[in-house]
Amino acid sequence: MKIKRHSAAFAVLTAGALVLAGCGTDQNVPQGGGNPALDNLQVECGTKPVSGEGSSAQKNAVDVFARDYGLKCQGQTVNYTKSGSGKGVAAFTAAQVDFGGSDSPLSEEKGEVARAAERCQGNPAWNIPMVFGPVAIAYNLPGITDLTLNADVVSKIYQGQIRKWDDPAIRALNPNAQLPATDIVPFFRSDESGTTENFQKYLTTATGGAWAGKGKTFQGGPGVGQGRDGSDQVAQSVKATQGGITYVEWSFAKNLGLGIAKIDSGAGPVELTTANVGKAIEAAQVDGQGHDLRVNLESIYGNKSAGVYPIVLNTYEIVCSKGYDPETTKAVKAFLTVAANADPQQLEKAGYVPLPDAFKGKVLAAVNAIS
């Protein structure tokens, strides 16, 4: 099968350096030494470059994957364009790229499943959840370095029902904190956003339906909060605003030194850490059939177990189960195998969580089954 190559500017990885052209990144990609996990990893590299397009939420993770792929498969490159999930699916189904990156699995209703199967020479495409990134509830309260919130309180903040930081509902979760009588200034994404869509799914699930907003457009209380375009802008706005709060990908909150709230889902406060997010991923239910690994996000968002941090986004790499030419098959399988074993420290620095071992086993079984 002849694969058309996407004409957009692309990221080229050589053995020693990552050169970005045109598409850019939201954060600096961590640089460093080799990944020990690659030493004994068996892959058949192939001879073709790998191309992908789609979700901007996973762009920095793909850069980490690409770096490791270039170390394992000397001279091989990865071309990934961040254009949004919809465009990534469209580029994949049009056979313009080898894999699509999407914050949601292929939709039967939208005809994506059928179009993807046609592109894959009549074979099903698989949704492989390769990237997981936690969402932080970030805040700016000078002197308050330990803050616990829960879904009900966050929901009421964005509905305008809780307006002061010393509200009794917040004090009840933080009995030892000296909370100020400062106005709460909520910020939200004004652009359509997969982060918003999943944040609203979390609030709906964790509040038992008390939050009614859904979709990629934020739907808080009338006149509540201030909208900003993009993750960088909501994070910067909180940084500049005493009393500010927002939901944002972990890397943005960390890079700006914002406070990050612990989440209490009923079994006590849980800090946002790699280990605590990993517990949520390990317990996630998979709804897809066979090697089509569609994650049931409600099983994460509604997880009330001790030590589980539940606000997590995941991104799928959409690939053909069969239908590539032989060299593309080798390259795609090699790249995804390396991605599943990417350097955990580099991923965490970029704001993502490495796949826990049990979940990684499911992912690698799917990758190995591509033929």
Question: Which tens digits make up the pLDDT trace of 153-194?
Answer: 999 999 999 999 999 999 999 999 999 999 999 999 999 888
> Is 56 among the annotated ligand-binding positions?
yes
pLDDT of residue 325: 97
The tens digit of pLDDT for each residue in 141-153 reads: 999 999 999 999 9
CATH superfamily of the 12-132+317-369 domain: Periplasmic binding protein-like II (3.40.190.10)
The answer to whether 321 is a known ligand-binding residue is: no
Read off the pLDDT of residues 221-278 as tens digits, 9 standing for 90 and up: 999 999 999 899 999 999 999 999 999 999 999 999 999 999 999 999 999 999 999 9
Question: Using one digit for the tens of pLDDT, what is the confidence trace for 268-285?
Answer: 999 999 999 999 999 999
pLDDT given at position 19: 31
pLDDT in tens, 327-354: 999 999 999 999 999 999 999 999 999 9
Is 194 known to sit in a ligand binding site? yes
The answer to whether residues 338 and 72 touch, using CB atoms and an 8 Å cutoff, is yes
Fold topology of 135-276: D-Maltodextrin-Binding Protein; domain 2 (3.40.190)
Q: pLDDT at position 4, please?
A: 40
* pLDDT digit string, tens, across residues 116-137: 999 999 999 999 999 999 999 9
Written as one string, the DSSP assignment of 152-177 is HHHHHHHHTS--BTT-HHHHHH-TTS
- Three-state DSSP at 339 gives helix
Grouping H, G, I as helix, E, B as strand and the rest as coil, residue 287 is coil
- What single-letter amino acid sits at 31? Q
Q: Do domains 12-132+317-369 and 135-276 have the same CATH topology?
A: yes
In the 8-state DSSP scheme, what is residue 5? P
pLDDT above 70 covers a percentage of the chain that reads: 91
Evaluate whether 340 touches 367 at the Cβ level (below 8 Å).
Answer: yes
* pLDDT on residue 326: 97
CA 125 to CA 112: how far, in whole Å?
10
Distance from first CA to last CA of the chain, Å, rounded?
A: 13
Average pLDDT estimate for 310-320: 97
Q: Answer yes or no: is pLDDT of 6 > 50.
A: no
* Per-residue pLDDT, 7: 37
Query: For the chain, which residues make up each domain, given as ranges?
Result: 12-132+317-369, 135-276
**Where does the pLDDT of residue 207 fall: very low under 50, low under 70, confident under 90, or very high at 90 and above?**
very high
pLDDT value, residue 102: 92
What is the C-alpha to C-alpha distance for residues 187 and 21, in angstroms, rounded to an integer?
A: 32
Q: Is 55 annotated as a binding residue?
A: yes
What is the pTM (predicted TM-score) of this model? 0.83
305 has binding-site annotation: no
Residue 231 labelled as part of a binding site:
no
Taking the CA atoms of residue 358, residue 361, residue 366 and residue 369 in that order, the dihedral angle to the nearest 10 degrees is -150
pLDDT for the residue numbered 228: 95
Structure tokens belonging to residue 78: 């990865």
57 is in an annotated binding site: yes
Task: Find the helix packing angle between 357-369 and 326-340, rounded to 10°.
Answer: 180
pLDDT the model gives residue 27: 37
Is 79:51 a contact under the CB 8 Å cutoff? yes
Average pLDDT taken over every residue of the chain: 90
For residues 245 and 187, the answer to whether their CB atoms sit within 8 Å is: yes
Q: So what's the pLDDT on residue 33?
A: 55
Residues 6+ apart with CB under 8 A from 363: 128, 129, 130, 293, 336, 340, 355
Per-residue pLDDT, 115? 98
Residue 246 bridge partners (DSSP)? 138
Q: How many residues does the chain have?
A: 371
Confidence of residue 5 (pLDDT cuts 50, 70, 90): very low
Alpha carbons 150 and 208: distance in angstroms, whole number: 13
